[in-house]
Amino acid sequence: MKKNTLNWLVGIALGAVFLITWIRIVDWQEFISYFHEFDLKMVLIFSSFYLLAYFLRSLRWRIILKPIYKMGVWESLSIFMSGMLINYIIPIRAGEIAKSVILKSKKNVKIAESLPSIFIDKITDLFPIIFIMILIPLVSVKLNSALYIVISLLFLIFLIFLAFLFFAVNHKSKAIAMLNFFLKLLPVKFRKKFEDFFINFVDGMEIMHGRITENILVYFLTLLAVLSEAIYIYALFRSFGAEVSYLKILFGYTLMNLTYILPTPPAQIGSNQFMWVLIFSFALGVNENLTSAAVTFSHLLTSIWIFAVGIISLVALKINLSQLLQNNNGKD
C-alpha cells in the first residue's frame, strides 16, 4: 500500500470519528434556527480578513525564503495558496511539501534548500501560544483545570523546544548527541531518519541567523495574521447572534490555530467541527449549536475561498493539479 493511500485512510478515519462525535452533540432543530436571522452580508464582508491572514503568511514565508530564492509578492502568494489547496485535498499536510515541489519545477530551487524555510514558517505558527498565556488573565472565562493544564504543558513544551532549537543552531554536534540520548529507545532505522531530519532542519534555521530586523518582521506578520483571522471569526459569531467579546474569540481562535499544525482529514471535515465546539463551546461557554452553525457556514465559505484562490494560483503558475499531486506523491 502506498504511503499516500495510507495517509488518506488515516485522515478519513480520523475525520469520521470527529464528525460522528460532533453529530451526536448537535441539536439539529436549534442548529437550523440560528440560520433564520443570520447576517450573511456581515460575514461575506469580514471574510476579507480571513484572506488577508493568508496574504500576510505568504509574505512571512517570502521573507524566510529570501536568502535562498527572492520571490515576488504575488508569486509567493500563488505558491502559498497552491499549497493550501493541496492541504485541503490530501491529509497529513502534503501541501507543505507541494510548495517545495512547485519551486523545484518552476524555479529550479532544490527541494532540500526550500523545505527548511517551510518548516520554519510552520514553526512560527506555534508562537501564538505566547499570546494565549498573556490572554488567559484578560479573558472573562474560568478555564477548567484540565484545559489549563493542557495549555500550560503546551507552553512549557514550546519553551523547551525553542530553547533547544536556539542551542542546536549554535552547538549542533552537542544537540545531536543530546537528541540521540533520548532517541535510544527507537529502532536504528527510525533514529537515523529523525537525526537526518533534525540536522537538515537546524541547517535550515541558519537562514534566519543574524537577520534581526527580518526575524522581528516574521513574528509581527504572524501576530497580524492571527489578529486578522480573529476579526473574521468575531464577525462570524456576532452574525449568528453570539454575545461574545473579541478577546475571547482571539483567545479561542489562537488556541484553535495550534490544532491546524496537526495532521487533518481531507478538507478538515469532522476535525474542524469537533475542535470548534470543543474550544468555543465546552471551554469558552458559547452555545454548542450556535458554534456548530457558525463553523458549518464558515467551513463552507472558507473552503470556497481556498479552492477558488488555489485554482487561480495554479492557473497563474501554469501548473497542472493532477501532475502536481503525482509529483507530490513521489516525495513521500
Per residue in 39-76, pLDDT tens? Answer: 999 999 999 999 999 999 999 999 988 888 888 999 99
Distance CA 323, CA 329 (A): 10
Q: Nine-digit cell at 177?
A: 548527541
Distance CA 282, CA 119 (A): 32
pLDDT digits (tens, 9 = 90+) for 192-234: 777 776 776 676 667 776 778 888 898 899 989 989 999 999 9
pLDDT digits (tens, 9 = 90+) for 160-204: 777 777 777 677 777 777 777 776 766 666 667 777 767 766 766
- Determine contact, residues 80/303, Cβ cutoff 8 Å: no
Higher pLDDT, residue 108 or 206: 108
Is the pLDDT reported for residue 253 higher than 90? no
pLDDT of the residue at 332: 45
**Average pLDDT in the 95-123 region?**
81
Distance CA 61, CA 309 (A): 18
Cα 104 off chain centre by: 23
Helices H / strands E in the chain, number of each: 15, 0
